[in-house]
Structure 1
């Protein structure tokens, strides 16, 4: 949460096939929030948003 904007949490996103980004996000306190469906052609792989303090959802 940004001190300038209390109550607003900015998520971080990565592609589902990027397991290193997933581990890094979780180590920094960003729990997996959801798995987003593919949206070809711009997003050919599932997306994974992480939110600080979020719950881990497979």
Structure 2
């Protein structure tokens, strides 16, 4: 399912997905409305941002 680079912490996709999960969890605790939607949007935004940065990065 995952390659070696996707499990590596040098991968932007992994780092930004984790940051999106943290931000989504924090905001869903504060906002109290649409908790799941806010979490999924932040998680997806972090994943897409990491994907974009990984495309620009040369290995």
TM over 0.5: no
After TM superposition, the score normalised by the length of structure 1 is 0.24
Which structure: larger Rg?
2
Going by fraction, where is strand more abundant, 1 or 2? 1
